[in-house]
Amino acid sequence: MSEQIKQVFEKQQLHRKTMKARTVSDRLDMLKKLRGAIHIREELLFEALQADLRKSRFEAALTEIYFVYAEIDHALKNLETWAEPQKTAGTAANVLAKSYIRYEAKGTVLLLSPWNYPFQLAAGPLVSAIAAGNTVIMKPSELSSFTSGVLRELINTTFSQDEVWCVEGDAEVAKALLELPFDHIFFTGSTDVGRKVMAAASKHLATVTLELGGKSPCIVSRSAEVKRAAKKIAWGKLINSGQTCIAPDHVYVHESLVNSFIEHYKKAAKAMFFLDETRINAGSYPKMISRKHFDRQQELLDDALEKGATLAWGGESHAGSMTFFPALLQNVSGGSRMMQEEIFGPLLPVISFTDLDEVVRDINGRPTPLALYIFSRERSDTEYLLAGCSSGGACINDVLVHISNPALPFGGAGFSGMGSSHGIFGFRAFSHERAVMYQAAVDFNHLAYPPYTRKSGLLKWLRKIM
């Protein structure tokens, strides 16, 4: 496998100049081919996502397949504009010159995608990489093996190896790929693995886009519509059984609303994901990806309870079907694993607060999260929290939905990542912004050439105009 990887990489290195030189029309044709290939394999993708994560057809369509269609369609509509050289303002020093930014493909890029949204988070960055004119090698996660298999067949029968190639494999395959001198690496996954990717990229001075994660907080302020907030948070937390990088990780609820929030959350979760009071609706509620991840949820729950947390609701589990039920916890110790690690599952700590200053201090005491969710009807509270807390992205009176707008950049900050994706931001992530200046036939730059004697007057004039 390692030898085949090297051979394909060398093919793409030889072909990358050809890809760079392709017209926008050629890139649009590639995107149309990708869209068509996905459409033909829709049923296979639905079956694979059901097998990997027990995703319902509707959830798979909404969060995976149709999401990628929207990404492709946005690129098809806007790529011609994105790729045009952008004229910039001039300066007094080059008053007659014309300055532009040209967008050029970075070259050969590597996409490493995760298992939780195994189609969306592989195909989405691929759209941007193709739009920018790169050659691409991609490796989807081995944990979502059914979807990875469909992806490999889809990619490798639609494109030639010197354009786009998909390789399956485990961590050893990823390691072999990271040893190669790619021009850009796009990684989606955990912060710990992100560090390894960045270290590998540094050996070849490759640029990186890291979409990581973190403990994305929700705040339900005193003025929030608690019923509406609870329903939205329950949906955002429990879609894909909490295995979402921007899922609400924990929620700060004003002390006057805690009991109401818990009751409304329970009702909303049961209505969306349960058949009755005790039975999960397997047609709407996905499973954990693996036994390891299932066991980790139990370990987080047990650790929190041992450290003094109380279980307000839920927490049952079925190991045979790898189904972990939703749970609400209170009085969770800051020293528990649940408050130290990204939960990435259906467990939700509910933290009571009396003053927003407490919330700001607590959030700022942790690494910058990928998302921040604020529920409030008071603009002053919203602005105070946005100004006081950093995050990759944010939603006001909703969760998750900012990722659905390709006109917004999606990405983290600090420990939750670097760089942005989607739409023009993804196009730019895979492009080199090249500065180009066309000098006029007549210019005055020679006035600044040596010798510098008798130029004190010119220096005074320059100081006035610059």
Beta pairing partners, 86: 101
- Choosing from 166, 211, 218, 395, the catalytic residue is 211
Query: Is 389 annotated in the active site?
Result: no
Contacts of residue 181, defined as CB under 8 A and 6 or more positions apart, other chains included, come to: 204, 206
Q: Please report where in the chains the tokens 């007659």 appear, as a residue.
A: 96
| DSSP 3-state of 197 | helix
**396: phi > 0 → left, psi -120 to 50 → alpha, else beta; which?**
beta
Percent of residues in the chain assigned helix, strand, coil, to nearest 5: 50, 20, 35
- Choosing from 166, 218, 245, 395, the catalytic residue is 245
- 67-71: Cβ within 8 A, 24+ apart: 67/120, 67/124, 67/404, 68/38, 68/119, 68/120, 68/123, 68/124, 68/127, 69/35, 69/38, 70/404, 70/406, 71/123, 71/124, 71/127, 71/406, 71/422, 71/423
Query: What does the alpha-carbon distance between residue 29 and residue 124 come to, in Å, rounded to a whole number?
Result: 17
Query: Is 153 annotated in the active site?
Result: no
Closest of 359, 310, 314, 358 to residue 338, by C-alpha: 310
Structure tokens at 108: 């050969």
Structure tokens at 270: 């049961």
Query: What does the alpha-carbon distance between residue 285 and residue 272 come to, in Å, rounded to a whole number?
Result: 9
Query: What does the alpha-carbon distance between residue 293 and residue 287 come to, in Å, rounded to a whole number?
Result: 10
Q: Please report where in the chains the tokens 């959030």 appear, as a residue.
A: 363
Q: Please report where in the chains the tokens 């991840």 appear, as a residue.
A: 293
| Beta pairing, strands 431-438 & 98-105 | antiparallel
Residues with catalytic annotation? 211, 245
